[in-house]
Structure 1
Amino acid sequence: MAEVRLEHVRKVYPDGHVAVHDASFEAGDGELLVLVGPSGCGKSTLLRMIAGLETVDGGTLSIGGRVVNDVAPRDRDIAMVFQNYALYPHMTVAGNLAFGLKLRGMDKAAIAARVADAAKTLGLEDMLERRPAALSGGQRQRVALGRALVRQPQVFLLDEPLSNLDARLRAAMRVEIARLHRSLGTTMVYVTHDQVEAMTLGQRIVVLDGGRIQQIDTPMALYERPANLFVATFLGSPAMNILCGRFVGGAAPALLMDDGLRLPLPGLQAREGWDGRSLAVGVRPEHLVPAEADDDPFDATVELVEPVGSEVLVNLRAAGHDLVARMPPARMPRRGDRLSLAVARGRMHVFEPDTGARLGPDATG
C-alpha cells in the first residue's frame, strides 16, 4: 500500500491545450479517492499521468514517497482497470488472470495461488475455464478487476470501469468494488463522470472542471457545502435549483427577481453589504417543501410529476422560473395544481453570480 501525491501537476498537449492546471491532491494510504467531473475535465488525463501513460509537464507526482515523474509504467507498482475490459478472447478466465504474472516470470505455483485467491474474492471460481464470450458484462468486469488484483500492486487505478454496464449491473458492481476495497485496504484512485458512483464509492472526492480542481472533500460535505456553483449543480440529482436576483434583508429576508418572483429565505444570516446586492441562491429539491401556517410562502404551478417509487419529483414553474421539488409519494400533486411552497429554514446556499464562488453562510444553517 502507498499514498499517491500530486503537487502542482500540469499537463499541456502539443497544440497548446492545457488539460490539467496546477493539480494538487493526495490519495492517502488505503484510501478510495474518486476523481469526478464532466467529459473533458481532465480526470482521465490525471489518472493516466499517475499510471505513467501520459507525461507530467510540470509539478511532482509521487507514489509511496517516491517521485515517479520519469519512472516507466511497469516500474510504478500500480495496476489499472480500463473502461473496456481488454480481455484476451482466446484465453480462459484463468488464462487472462494469469497472463500478466507469466510475463513477469513468476513461477507456476505462485501464479496458481494468486489466481485462486482472486477468483475466490471475486466469485469467479466456477468460471475459470470459460472464455470472455461466455461471460456477462458484469462477469467480464470482475475478470478485469481480478487481473489487476493478482498483481498485488501498491495502488489500483480504475478508469470508468462500470460505464459499459447497465444500471442494475452498475449498482451491483459498485457494491463489489466497495467490498473489495474494504477487504484489501489498498489505495484506489477511481475515475468516473457518474456522480452516483462518486458519492457512493469515494471516501473523498476530487471534483474537476476544465482541467481545474473545484473542490476536494467527503461526499456529504460536498453535497451540503459546495464551494461554488459548478459543484453545487454537478452533485445532486435532480440538480440544485439556482435563482438569481436582488437580496432584500430585514425581518423577512428574500430574493427579488426581475420578473417579480419573491423567494423567501427564512433563517438566512445575511452578511454586511448584502442588502440590494445581486446574488445566486441555490436550494436543493428536498428543501422546497409545502408551506406551513407560519411560513413565508411563494406559489408555483405543477408542470410535470415524475413518480419514481420512494419519492416524487415535481417539476414546477414559478413566475417564469423552472424549479424541481422532491416530495414523498403521499403528497403527489397533479399537473396544473397550484402549490404554496417554502424554503426549509436555513437550507439555502448563496453564491456570487459572476464568479460562482460560495458566499456562505453554511448550507445546513
Structure 2
Amino acid sequence: MASVQLDRVRKVYDNGQVAVHGASFEIADGELMVLVGPSGCGKSTLLRMIAGLEDISEGDLLIGGKRVNDVQPKDRDIAMVFQSYALYPHMTVAENLAFGLKLRGHPRAEIERRVNAAAETLGMSHMLGKLPREMSGGQRQRVALGRALVREPSVFLLDEPLSNLDAKLRHSVRTEIGRLHRQLRATMVYVTHDQVEAMTLGQRIVVLKEGEIQQIDTPMALYEKPANLFVAGFLGSPAMNVLHGTLQRAEGLRLVLDGGDALPLGQATVADAWLGRRVAMGVRPEHLQPAGIGKPAFEAQVELIEPVGNEVFVNLSHAGQSLVSRVAPQHLPEPGQLLRVTVDGGVLHFFDADSGQRL
C-alpha cells in the first residue's frame, strides 16, 4: 500500500471556475479517508485528480512519495470503484473480475489466483458462474469491489459506491467495505455526500464546501468540536440546532435571542469577552431535553413528534425558530401544546455570528 499526499492542489476549468481551492492533506498508508460534502463541493473532482482522470491545474500530488501529476491513470497503481457497477452483462462474475487482468497481460494462473482470492474475500466463490442479471444490486456492487481487489493496487478510490442501493443494502455493503479495509489494511479514499457513511466508515474525514476544505479530523472530533457552522450543521442527523442572540449573565448565563426572548443556559461557562457579543449558539438534539423539576428551562411549542423506534424526534418551535430534540420514548405533549425544555450547558457550541467560525 502507499500514502497519498496533496500539496496545494487546485483545479481551475477553462471557463475560470475554481472547483478545488488549494487542497493540502495527507492520507496515511493503510488509512481510510472519507471526502464528504454537498453536491458540487469538489469531492469527486479531488478523487478524479488522484485517479488521473482530471488534470491538476496547480500543486503537487504524490502517491507513495512519488509525484504523479503527469503519470497516466493506468500507471498510478490505483483501482477505482464507481457509483455505477459498470459490469459487462454478457460476462460471468469470474469473467468480469478477470477482464482487466487479461487486458494487462497477466498469466492465466495469476489471474485465476487473484480472482479466486477476491471471490473468497467477498464471500462470492459460489457466484463466479453467475451473470450480472441474476444478481441483486448489492451483489453487483460486491463484484465491482472485487474487480478493484484483483488489481491488488496501492490505493483504492471509491466514488459514492453505495448511492444506487436501498437503505438495507447500503448498510450491508458499507459494513463489507469496513471489513475489507480492516482485513486488507489498504489505503482507501472514499467519496460520499452521506454524512452517516462518512461518520461510520472514515478513520478521518475531510469536510468540503464549494471546493474549500472546512475541517479534517476523526468522526467524533468533528461531531464534538466542529470548526464552523457549516461543519456543525452538515454532520449529525438530525442537524445541530442553531440559535442567534447575545450572551448575558443574569442568574446564570443566558442567550437573549434576536427577538428578545431569553434562554437560560444553566451551567454553561464562556469567556468574559463573549458577554454582550452576538453569537450563533449550537446545541445537538440530544442535548435539548424535557426539563425536570427545578431545572432552568424555557417553553417551546410541539410541532411534530416522530417516533423512530428506540428514540423520538420532537420538532419544536420557540420565538419563531425551529428546534429538534432527540429523546428516549416517553409520554410527550401533543402537537400544539407546550413543552418545558432545558439546555445542557456543558456541551454547547458557540460560533461567531458573522464569520461562522468557532469561538
TM value normalised by structure 1:
0.97
- 1:299 counterpart residue number: 299
For 2:83, the aligned partner's letter is Q
For 2:8, the aligned partner's letter is H
For 2:131, the aligned partner's letter is R
- 2:194 counterpart residue number: 194
Distance 1:348 1:258 in 2: 18
**Are 1:48 and 2:48 matched, yes or no?**
yes
For residue 140 of structure 1, give the secondary structure of its aligned residue in structure 2. helix
- 1:284 counterpart residue number: 284
Distance 2:22 2:67 in 1: 17
Per-residue deviation at 1:73?
0.4
Change (3 A) 1:333 1:171: farther
- 2:238 counterpart residue number: 238
Distance 1:163 1:157 in 2: 15
Does the 8 Å CA contact 1:81/1:145 hold for their aligned counterparts?
yes
The superposition leaves residues 318-340 of structure 1 with CA deviations (integer Å, 9 ceiling, x where unpaired) of 12111000010124442123111
- 1:341 counterpart residue number: 341
For residue 90 of structure 1, give the secondary structure of its aligned residue in structure 2. coil
The superposition leaves residues 8-63 of structure 1 with CA deviations (integer Å, 9 ceiling, x where unpaired) of 10000001000000101111110000000000000000000000000111111000
For 1:226, the aligned partner's letter is P
Distance 1:54 1:234 in 2: 27
Distance 2:141 2:263 in 1: 48
For 1:93, the aligned partner's letter is V
For residue 330 of structure 1, give the secondary structure of its aligned residue in structure 2. coil
Per-residue deviation at 1:250?
4.9
- Worse-superposed segment, 250-259 or 284-293: 250-259
Does the 8 Å CA contact 1:4/1:64 hold for their aligned counterparts?
yes
- 1:83 counterpart residue number: 83
Per-residue deviation at 1:267?
2.5
Distance 1:294 1:332 in 2: 19
- Worse-superposed segment, 167-176 or 123-132: 123-132
Per-residue deviation at 1:223?
0.3
Distance 2:223 2:258 in 1: 29
Does the 8 Å CA contact 1:249/1:270 hold for their aligned counterparts?
no
Distance 1:285 1:9 in 2: 37
Distance 1:42 1:28 in 2: 21
Q: Which structure 2 segments of 5+ residues have no match?
A: none
Per-residue deviation at 1:150?
0.3
- Worse-superposed segment, 249-258 or 278-287: 249-258
TM value normalised by structure 2:
0.98
For residue 21 of structure 2, give the secondary structure of its aligned residue in structure 1. strand
**Are 1:103 and 2:107 matched, yes or no?**
no
The superposition leaves residues 190-247 of structure 1 with CA deviations (integer Å, 9 ceiling, x where unpaired) of 0000000000000000000000000000000000000000000000000000000111
For 2:45, the aligned partner's letter is T
- Worse-superposed segment, 210-219 or 332-341: 332-341
Does the 8 Å CA contact 2:204/2:218 hold for their aligned counterparts?
yes
Does the 8 Å CA contact 2:244/2:353 hold for their aligned counterparts?
yes
Distance 2:291 2:148 in 1: 54
For 1:321, the aligned partner's letter is Q
The superposition leaves residues 61-94 of structure 1 with CA deviations (integer Å, 9 ceiling, x where unpaired) of 0000001011000110000000001111111110
- Worse-superposed segment, 255-264 or 71-80: 255-264
Within a 5 Å distance, the mapping from 1:300-319 to structure 2 comes to 300-319=300-319
Distance 1:102 1:288 in 2: 59
Does the 8 Å CA contact 1:61/1:68 hold for their aligned counterparts?
yes
Does the 8 Å CA contact 1:242/1:280 hold for their aligned counterparts?
yes
- Worse-superposed segment, 270-279 or 69-78: 270-279
For residue 293 of structure 1, give the secondary structure of its aligned residue in structure 2. coil
For residue 273 of structure 1, give the secondary structure of its aligned residue in structure 2. helix
Per-residue deviation at 1:261?
2.2
Distance 2:192 2:108 in 1: 36
- 1:38 counterpart residue number: 38
The superposition leaves residues 249-302 of structure 1 with CA deviations (integer Å, 9 ceiling, x where unpaired) of 255111111323212222322223222211000000000012223321110111
Does the 8 Å CA contact 1:305/1:333 hold for their aligned counterparts?
no
For residue 182 of structure 1, give the secondary structure of its aligned residue in structure 2. helix
Q: Which structure 1 segments of 5+ residues have no match?
A: 360-365
For 1:43, the aligned partner's letter is K
- 1:18 counterpart residue number: 18
Does the 8 Å CA contact 1:312/1:332 hold for their aligned counterparts?
no
Distance 1:10 1:77 in 2: 22
Per-residue deviation at 1:162?
0.1
- 1:165 counterpart residue number: 165
Does the 8 Å CA contact 2:244/2:258 hold for their aligned counterparts?
no
TM-align CA RMSD: 1.0
Does the 8 Å CA contact 1:47/1:157 hold for their aligned counterparts?
yes
Per-residue deviation at 1:7?
0.7
Distance 2:249 2:61 in 1: 48
The superposition leaves residues 109-155 of structure 1 with CA deviations (integer Å, 9 ceiling, x where unpaired) of 11011100101111111111111111110000000000000000000
Identical aligned residues as a percent = 66
Within a 5 Å distance, the mapping from 1:204-243 to structure 2 comes to 204-243=204-243
- 1:117 counterpart residue number: 117
